[in-house]
Each structure stands twice: as C-alpha cells, then as structure tokens.
C-alpha cells in the first residue's frame, strides 16, 4: 500500500493578535488523505477546520509541523515542485459568490488558474475551461456572464469548474455547500460524487454539517477548538462514536443517528474562544461527563479500535461496552 | 431576511421624495451640459475664438461688452472672450495634469501600502501624514515659489499635494478587498505579483471609488490653478487661463468690474459640475441603492 | 491625570510626522534651481560673497547635519535672516502671523455657524427637496473660489455699499478696531466656502449617526425628534466633527494666503507672495514651516479631544 497523498503532521497555525499575543487556531493536527478517498473534516465554526484546509493549501503560514505531498515536505519545494503541488491540490470555497471576482466573466475566472500556470496558448486554455464548465453542468451561454448574473448554485458550479481545470488530484472543499439551500446542496453533492469518479479525485470535505459529511465521506475527523478529537470511518463514527463531542453532534442529527445508544447529549453554551482555551481537555467546559481530571490533563488522540481513535480520558468508562472493555476499577 | 429586518431597513435606508429626485436629476443634467460645453471649448477654442487671444490693441483697451467684443477687452486691448476660450483649455489641461500626477503617485503607492501592509504601509502612511500636515495650497505655493513660477511646476506641485487623497482611498479600498475570497482563491492557484494579482484582481475592484475622487480633485485642481495663477505663480504672461484673466481683471476692478464675473462663474460652474458628477457616480456605485 | 497621559501619548505619536514634515520644509531649499547661493546672491555676486552664503546656509555640510542644525534653529525661533532686507525672518513672521490667525479664527467661526446647523438640518430632512436644496447649495458653495467670492464681496459691500473698507486694510498694530472691521469681508469669503464644506461633511456624519440602532432605540422610546437630533445624534457625531474642524483649519489657512492677497492684508500669506516676487527663499520656507506647525498643533488638539471624547480609546 502506498502512503498518503497529502498529509499533515502535527500542524499548528497561530495568528498574531495585537502585541506579542497570538491565538492558536490549529493545535498539532495530523491528518492523512489517502488516494481516492473522501475525508470529512467536521466541527463547529471556530473549531479551526477551515484553517486546516488553508494550511494544507499553503494559504496560511504554519507555525509548527509538516505538510507532506506524496511523502515529501512541502516547505522544501522548489518553484517547479510547488507549481505541481498547487496544480494538484485545488480548493472550492464556501461562499460561491465572493469566491468569484465580480469584475471577471465566468470563463475568465475559470480559465485563470491555467493563465497563471501559463499552460498552452489562450485558445487551448479556453477550451479546457469550457470543457470543465460543461462537466459541472453549466450551460455554455453562461461563459460570458458576470458572477452577479448567475444563481448561487451556478456560481458554485463555476467555482468547482475553476478547481478542476488544472486536472487536480485533490479537491479541498471548504464548506462548499453551506451557503446553498438544501435542494441545491444535494445537487452539488451529487455533482461532486460524479466528478470524483470522472476526474479520479481525492476529496477533503470540510463542513459543520454531519449529515452532509456522512453522505460523502469514507472517513471522518472531528475537530474541536483546534484539535482533532475523533478519527474513524464514517460507519464506525455513526454507529459507535467514542467521544462525547461527536456524540453530541450525532444526537443533533436525528436522521443518521443510531439512537440505540439511548443517550442524548446537549451541548452547553458556545465554543470557548481559542484565544484563551480551557486547560486540560478542550471540551471539558461543555462536556457533561467532565470530571476533575479532565480539567488538568489534556487527552491524546489514541487508537481505541482498529482505525478508530478518540481523544477522551474517560473513553473506557463511557464507552467500555462498545469497545469490549470493562472499566478498570 | 425576516419581516422585522425589512421594517427596520425601510426606516433607515431612505428613499428620496419624488421632488427631490427630480431636482437631483436636474442638477446632474445641468452638470453634464456644463462639462460638455467645457469639453467643446477645450477641443475647439481655436475655431470658436473670434480673435487671437494675445493680440494687443492699445486703441481698444478696457472696452465694455459689445457686439465686437462680447466680453469686452482687457487693459492691453485683448479680447476677453477669446482669452476665456483659450484660458479654458489651459486651465482644464492644467487641472488634468495635476490630477494625473496625483493618480500616478497615489494609486500605486496606495495599493502597495494596502496590499503589502506592515512596514511598507507604515512608511508610506507616515509620509502621507507629513504631506497632509501642510495646507495643500501653501505647500504648492512653497514648491512653486522656490522652483520658479511656471504653470507646469505649479500643477505638478498641486498634484503632489493632492496625491494623499487618492493614496488613502486606494489603500483603504485595497485593504477592504484584500480579505475577499476571490483574492484568496487567486492565491490558492498561485496568482501573485503585479501581472497576475494586482492588475487583474485588485485594480479593477478598487478603481470606481478612485474615479469619484478624481472628479472631486478636478474641481480642487481648477481652483488651485486659479489661485496660483492669481498669485502669478501659475501661467505666465501672455498665456491666458481662468486664473490669469481673473488676476488681470482684478487689477482694473474699478474700471471693468464685469470682467471678473466671467472667469469666476466659469470656475464655479465647472467645479460644481465635477462635484455633482462625482456625487452621482458615488450614488450609482452605492450597493445599498436598488 | 488622564488628560496629561492622553496629551503625552498624542505628542509622542505626532513626533515622527513632525520630523518628516519639517524635513519636507527643509528640502524645499534643495528645489532652488541651480546653485542656491547664486540664486540668492544674484549672478554678479563675488566669489567671496557666494562662499559666505554657502557657509551661512551650511551647504558644505552633509545633508543630515544641515537638517539638524536647521531644525534646531527653527525650534528655538531662529528661522534665519531675509536675504532681501537682512531682517530676522522670525520677527517678520511673528509680525504678520497674528493677522492670519485672527482671520482664520473668524473664518472658522463663520464656517461653523453656517455649516453646522445647515448640515444637521439637511441630515434631519435627508432626501427631501429641502435637503437637496441645501446640499446642492453647499456643492455650489464649495465650487466657488474663495478669493473670487472675496472680490464679489468687495464689489458689493466695499465699493458699492461702502459698509466695509476695501482692499488695503489697516495694520493690526495701528488701529485694531479698524483692522478687525477690515477682516470681516475676507473672513466671510473664507468662512462661507468653508461652511459649505462643513455642511456637507456634517450632513453625512449625521445621516450615519441617525441611522444607528442607538438612535432608533431613542425613537422607539418616544423621544422627540428634536431631542434625538440635536442632543443624542449630535453628541454621537462629536468625533467626526473634531476631524471636520481639524481639516477645515488646514483649508482655511491655505485659503487665507490667497484671500490676503485679494484684500491686501499683511498676514503671512501676503508675506509669502512678496517673498516669491523677491525670491526670498528663506521667508517662503518659513511661511510653509509655520503653516505646517499650526496644522500639526490643530491635529494634536483634535487627536487629544478624540481620545478624551471617545471612551473606547484609552
């Protein structure tokens, strides 16, 4: 088996806020994106999931850790490798409207990655762009229009087309359907499924919406306040979540939640500010199972079942029956 | 949007009454007419002028308005109407020069400061603060007086002292769009630098408010030309400009008071038109309008 | 002692601007075409003369040391001597400055009296034909060159009606009352145009302030429109007003230079014009310097009042 296509190792991202202070938006996150899979990254707003995507793309500077492309450190790339990397990893942004330059036509915007990379002559580039626009199901009379003349769904199709023109290996979708209404969400999700096959894509799909992620993803990582708290296959996560936070997210999703667990978890309050994260387990302020120990020791992400890891100090006590272990004492 | 929001918005985003809209359209129409007239005069002063603007006739000095000399003659017997026509060309070109200079200085530096931020921004804005701590016309007078009176020098100075207006605007606009997603998207596929980022994405998206400012500055530059030429720091004899005609006429205020009305009205009307058109562009660009 | 701390902060943050601004003034003499010494002494100056001038100006020293000695002298009140009359430039400026300051102050009052109420009323009646009338009037007011307005005022009120003295005022030292009377028309010429500017700026600040939730809450509470506009919204707009007034001082000082020439007043503006005609570069430089110092002081006051008015800035 070959290694992961794109991987993050202990990546941290910090943003300066005022004098000599900074906020840690992403705190030692590791992710492996395997060729051909769809990895879902889920979390509330403020969890740092979008920053993870930007760090992977090289759009924000990384304070710690390594991003690897086919096993090689991206930081050490020369101009040529960097270009290959940036051709291979493309992003579809959240807001389909603001992601398109209002002063450029759809065709110009979609063609632009090829212009920047200086591929072929203008005619070829236009042909590639037109092909991509056709693949995403945008009628050809839209090519000469400006973003404000298109509907939200059409704009997001154009954004996807722009991400496809370089023939990428990886598509990073950052909340790519969140700004659309439900009917359109389904349309775009199906489109992504189709394109994944046609273009042989690997997808990192970021969302706050578990039902969307579980529809698309093979595996899911759950983020909370800059940390990954649970990693599992979609099936395993939905069937037997091993973290109170994931359970809380699941219980808010009646359609996908297997209610046999019989436990309903309600999150209290808002996600704390990453400027002053709580000590110990980041989730302890809102976790109904939090104990004294949770406020002191920060749990590590440990593999509890094969391919299923969780970062919870009380995982044995809370989920002992699911994982076939009994409480130690 | 909920119903409550709609109600609130209706209370704040005001719509002009019909009479106000009509009055607004009227002044915009008048302004376009004035600017068109000015343009025609600038282009065809040579054809329209009945006399050579610099031809002296000492037998016909300080004549009142008449069929031969529509606006009379000045103290050297030159036809004031012809001098006003040629002066229009000189004044408008001078103002264009000044505004051009301020755009050439202000736009790139403003974009650079807004885009690069950090140290570049700090340095540029310090210099801008320093330039803005002079009353604009005083610094322009200082530069021109030192380098020697001359219309080109004068208007370049005016352009320099006006450039912070463009610079600050371009900077603010650039900072506002810097965090737009389409900029980040362009970065994500490697668009960088002048050719791939600034020219295709930044410039087209900040230019409209700059155009409004250009219209306003045209007005300012016309008044500055008149002021400097009035002080004899601008155009030099025998060249005519609005300020020069005014300056000459003022010396003979008691003999020919009518002659100072005309240049003043020409300046006021043109500056007014530029300001109204500036407001109009601003209004058309306002995203809240609809 | 919040005030002292605030003043201290503002002064410190104004220092870099002051240094750069004075450096610009200093660099003015570098713009003198050709050899400044020749430009000052004339083409037929003897070599000894030229050498003396170079020595006086410190032209033989490196730029930064020239600047340092110039700025040191400037702030101890030594702006050099006039090459035309041999007089101390500071004395010349100090003799002329009071008149310009009085003129500017009078004009500022006129501008505020005209601009503030009209701006507030226009904002209150925003988008009605009355608002349109006021704003169009203000736009026209801005378009009028202030020195031309001065000429018009002379024709009407001095030459025809004889209410005020015409051009060529009396000096402040000789007959203060008459001199002040002579300042009324120039102050009007400057202040009316300034008032038009203030009107437009106040209007947009007030329109913004009147559309805040805060004002809307007051409306919902049933406060009278008058109390909302003149008390709450106006108070809420005090920060933009400080900026507007600060800006206006700079504009008025610039305008005063030209208006003084029209009215034949002997302020620093006409001093600069005379100096230009006589190529008295030191005097020109001094006038630019003094104008900048006045504006910087005004900005300092605005900055301080900003911080004192706004509880969010500490």
Q: Residue A298's pLDDT band (boundaries 50, 70, 90)?
A: confident
Q: What is the mean pLDDT of residues A111-132?
A: 86
Q: Show residues of chain C in contact with B10, CB under 8 Å.
A: none
B23: chain C residues, CB-CB within 8 Å: 129, 132-133, 136
Q: Smallest Cα–Cα separation from A246: which of A231, A268, A235?
A: A231
The yes-or-no verdict on residue C314 having pLDDT over 70 is no
Pick from B106, B92, B136, B135: which is nearest to B225 by CA?
Answer: B92
* Mean pLDDT score across all residues of chain B: 85
Give tens-digit pLDDT for A214-260. Answer: 888 999 999 998 899 999 998 888 888 888 888 888 887 655 445 44
B182 touches chain A (CB under 8 A): yes
Q: How far apart are alpha carbons C178 and A226 in whole angstroms?
A: 76
Residue C3 scores a pLDDT above 70: yes
Q: Is the pTM of this model over 0.80?
A: yes
pLDDT tier for residue A123 given thresholds of 50, 70 and 90: confident
Helix orientation angle between C89-124 and C238-263, rounded to the nearest 10 degrees:
130
pLDDT, averaged across chain C: 84
Q: Do B253 and C152 touch (CB under 8 A)?
A: no
**How high is the pLDDT of residue A221?**
93
Task: Label residue A102 left, alpha or beta by phi (over 0 means left) and psi (-120 to 50 means alpha).
Answer: alpha
Residue in B129, C262, C260, B286 with CA at minimum distance from that of residue C272: C260
C81 against C260, higher pLDDT: C260
Contact B146 C16 (CB under 8 A): no
Of A95, A100, A113, the CB nearest to B189: A113
How would DSSP label each residue in C134-163?
HHHHHHHHHHS-HHHHHHHHIIIIIIIS-S
Give the span between the Cα atoms of C228 and C206, in whole angstroms: 11
Q: Is the pLDDT assigned to residue B241 strictly greater than 70?
A: yes
- Residue percentage of chain A with pLDDT more than 70: 93
Contact residues for C189 (Cβ-Cβ < 8 A; gap 6+): C146, C147, C149, C150, C153, C259, C262
Q: Is the pLDDT of residue C84 over 80?
A: no
- The pLDDT value recorded for residue B271 is 95
**How far, in Å, CA of B74 to CA of B192, rounded?**
60
* Residue B8, pLDDT above cutoff 70: no
Q: Under an 8 A CB cutoff, do C276 and B145 touch?
A: yes
B117 touches chain A (CB under 8 A): no
Residues of B in contact with C159 (CB under 8 A): 253-254, 257
First to last CA, chain A: 40
Using a CB–CB cutoff of 8 Å, tell me whether B201 touches chain A: yes
B97-116 average pLDDT score: 95
* C-alpha span between C192 and B182 (Å, rounded): 46
Query: How many residues are there in chain B?
Result: 290
Chain B, chain C: beta-carbon pairs less than 8 Å apart: 175
Are A133 and A53 a contacting pair, CB within 8 Å? no
Out of A184-193, B145-154, C39-48, least confident range = C39-48
Q: What is the pLDDT of residues A57-94, one digit of tens each?
A: 888 888 888 999 988 888 888 888 888 888 899 999 88
Q: How far apart are CA C111 and CA C98, in angstroms?
A: 20
Residues of chain B positioned with their CB less than 8 A from the CB of C262: 230, 250
Name which of A167-176, B71-80, C10-19, C281-290 the model is least confident about.
B71-80
Phi, psi dihedral angles at A35 (to 5 degrees): -60, 130
Query: What rounded mean pLDDT belongs to chain A?
Result: 85
Mean pLDDT of C233-258: 85
Give the pLDDT score at B7. Answer: 32
Q: Please give the pLDDT value at position A48.
A: 86
User: What ipTM describes this predicted complex?
Assistant: 0.87
Cα dihedral B230, B236, B239, B240, rounded to 10, equals 0
Instruction: Using the predicted structure, report yes or no on whether residue C215 has a pLDDT greater than 90.
Output: no
**Mean local confidence (pLDDT), B83-103:** 94
- CA dist A118 → A59, A121, A125, B10 (Å): 21, 8, 9, 50
pLDDT level of residue A1 (50, 70, 90 thresholds): very low
Q: Which residue in chain B is spatially nearest to C268 when comparing CA positions?
A: B138
Burial of A19 (0-12, 13-18, 19+ CB in 10 A): exposed
pLDDT > 70? residue B15:
no
Quote the pLDDT of residue A265: 65
pLDDT at res. A253: 65
Identity of the highest mean pLDDT range in B99-103, C89-93, C310-314? B99-103
From the list A83, A109, A116, the residue facing B196 with the nearest CB is A116
Does B190 sit within 8 Å of A93, measured CB to CB? no
Angle between helices B80-116 and B203-230 (to 10 degrees): 140
Contact B200 A101 (CB under 8 A): yes
* Chains sharing 3 or more CB pairs under 8 A with chain B: A, C
User: For the purposes of burial, counting CB atoms within 10 Å of the CB of B87, is it exposed (0-12), middle (13-18) or buried (19 or more)?
Assistant: buried
- List pLDDT tens digits, range C101-136: 999 999 999 999 999 999 988 988 888 888 888 888
How far, rounded to the nearest angstrom, does the alpha carbon of residue C60 sit from its chain's CA centroid?
Answer: 35
Residue B214 has pLDDT above 90, yes or no: yes
User: Chains touching chain C at 3 or more Cβ pairs under 8 angstroms?
Assistant: B
Q: How far is A40 from chain B (nearest CA, A)?
A: 20
Residue B267 contacts C where some CB pair is shorter than 8 Å: yes
Check if the beta carbon of residue A206 is closer than 8 Å to that of residue A52: yes
What are the tens digits of pLDDT across the range C165-203?
777 766 667 777 777 888 889 999 999 999 999 999 888
């Amino acid at each position: 088996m070959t290694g992961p296509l794109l991987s993050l190792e202990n990546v941290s991202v910090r943003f300066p806020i005022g004098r000599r202070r900074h906020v840690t938006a992403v705190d030692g996150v590791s992710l492996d994106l395997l060729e051909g899979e769809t990895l879902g990254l889920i979390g509330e707003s403020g969890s740092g999931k979008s920053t993870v995507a930007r760090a992977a793309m090289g759009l924000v500077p990384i304070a710690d850790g390594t991003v690897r492309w086919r096993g090689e450190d991206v930081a050490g790339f020369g101009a040529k490798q960097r270009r290959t990397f940036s051709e291979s990893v493309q992003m579809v942004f959240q807001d389909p409207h603001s992601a398109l330059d209002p002063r450029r036509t759809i065709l110009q915007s979609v063609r632009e990655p090829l212009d920047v990379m200086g591929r072929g002559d203008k005619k070829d580039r236009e042909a590639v762009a037109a092909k991509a626009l056709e693949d995403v199901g945008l009628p050809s009379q839209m090519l000469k229009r400006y973003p404000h003349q298109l509907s939200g769904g059409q704009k997001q199709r154009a954004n996807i087309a722009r991400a496809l023109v370089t023939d990428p290996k990886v598509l990073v979708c950052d909340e790519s359907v969140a700004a659309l209404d439900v009917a359109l969400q389904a349309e775009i999700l199906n489109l992504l499924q189709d394109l994944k096959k046609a273009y042989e894509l690997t997808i990192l799909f970021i969302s706050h919406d578990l039902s969307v992620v579980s529809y698309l993803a093979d595996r899911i990582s759950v983020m909370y306040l800059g940390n990954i708290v649970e990693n599992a296959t979609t099936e395993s996560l939905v069937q037997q979540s091993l973290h109170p936070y994931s359970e809380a997210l699941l219980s808010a999703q009646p359609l996908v939640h297997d209610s046999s667990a019989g436990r309903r978890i309600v999150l209290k309050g808002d996600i704390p500010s990453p400027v002053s994260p709580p000590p110990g387990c980041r989730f302890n302020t809102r976790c109904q199972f939090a104990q004294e120990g949770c406020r002191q020791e920060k749990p590590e992400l440990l593999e509890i079942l094969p391919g299923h890891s969780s970062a919870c100090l009380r995982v044995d006590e809370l989920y002992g029956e699911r994982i076939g272990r009994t409480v130690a004492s | 949007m909920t119903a409550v929001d709609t109600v609130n918005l209706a209370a704040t985003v005001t719509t002009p009454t019909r009479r106000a809209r009509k009055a607004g359209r009227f002044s915009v129409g008048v302004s376009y007419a004035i600017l068109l007239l000015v343009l025609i005069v600038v282009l065809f002063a040579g054809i329209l002028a009945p006399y050579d603007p610099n031809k002296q006739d000492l037998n016909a000095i300080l004549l009142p308005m008449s069929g031969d000399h529509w606006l009379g003659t000045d103290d050297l017997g030159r036809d004031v109407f012809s001098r006003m026509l040629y002066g229009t060309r000189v004044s408008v070109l001078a103002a264009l020069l000044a505004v051009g200079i301020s755009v050439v200085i202000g736009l790139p530096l403003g974009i650079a400061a807004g885009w690069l931020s950090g140290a570049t921004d700090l340095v540029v804005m310090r210099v801008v603060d320093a330039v803005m701590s002079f009353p604009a016309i005083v610094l322009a007078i200082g530069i021109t007086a030192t380098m020697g009176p001359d219309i080109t020098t004068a208007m370049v100075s005016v352009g320099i002292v006006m450039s912070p207006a463009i610079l600050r605007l371009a900077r603010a606009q650039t900072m506002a769009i810097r965090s737009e997603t389409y900029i980040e998207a362009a970065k994500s596929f490697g668009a960088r630098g002048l050719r791939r980022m600034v020219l295709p994405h930044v410039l087209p998206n900040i230019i409209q408010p700059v155009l409004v400012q250009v219209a306003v500055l045209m007005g300012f530059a016309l008044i500055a030309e008149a002021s400097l030429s009035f002080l004899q720091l601008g155009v030099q004899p025998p060249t005519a400009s609005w300020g020069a005609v005014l300056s000459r006429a003022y010396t003979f205020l008691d003999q020919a008071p009518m002659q100072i009305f005309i240049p003043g009205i020409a300046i006021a009307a043109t500056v007014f038109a530029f300001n109204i058109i500036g407001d109009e562009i601003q209004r058309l660009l306002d995203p809240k309008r609809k | 002692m919040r005030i002292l701390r605030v003043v201290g902060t503002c002064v410190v943050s104004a220092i870099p601007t002051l240094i750069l601004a004075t450096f610009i003034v200093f660099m003015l003499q570098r713009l003198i075409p050709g050899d400044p010494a020749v430009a000052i002494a004339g083409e037929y100056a003897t070599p000894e003369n030229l050498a003396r001038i170079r020595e006086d100006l410190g032209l033989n020293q490196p730029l930064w040391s020239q600047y340092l000695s110039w700025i040191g002298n400037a702030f101890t009140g030594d702006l050099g001597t006039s090459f035309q009359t041999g007089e101390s430039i500071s004395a010349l400026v100090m003799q002329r400055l009071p008149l310009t300051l009085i003129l500017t102050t009078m004009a500022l009052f006129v501008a505020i009296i005209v601009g503030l109420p009209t701006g507030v009323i226009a904002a209150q009646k925003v988008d009605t034909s009355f608002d349109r009338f006021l704003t169009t009037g203000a736009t026209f007011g801005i378009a009028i060159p202030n020195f031309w307005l001065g000429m018009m005022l002379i024709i009407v009120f001095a030459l025809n009606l004889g209410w005020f003295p015409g051009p060529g005022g009396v000096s402040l030292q000789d007959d203060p009352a008459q001199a002040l009377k002579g300042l009324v028309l120039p102050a009007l010429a400057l202040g009316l145009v300034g008032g038009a500017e203030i009107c437009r700026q106040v209007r947009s600040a007030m329109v913004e302030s009147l559309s805040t939730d805060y004002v809307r809450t007051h409306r919902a509470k049933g406060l009278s429109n008058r109390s909302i506009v003149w008390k709450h919204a106006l108070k809420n707009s005090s920060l933009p007003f400080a900026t507007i007034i600060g800006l206006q001082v700079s504009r008025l000082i610039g305008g005063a230079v030209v208006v003084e020439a029209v009215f034949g007043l002997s302020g620093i503006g006409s001093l600069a014009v005379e100096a230009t005609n006589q190529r008295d570069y030191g005097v020109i430089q001094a006038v630019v310097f003094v104008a900048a110092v006045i504006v910087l002081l005004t900005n300092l006051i605005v900055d301080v009042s900003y911080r004192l008015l706004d509880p969010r800035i500490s």
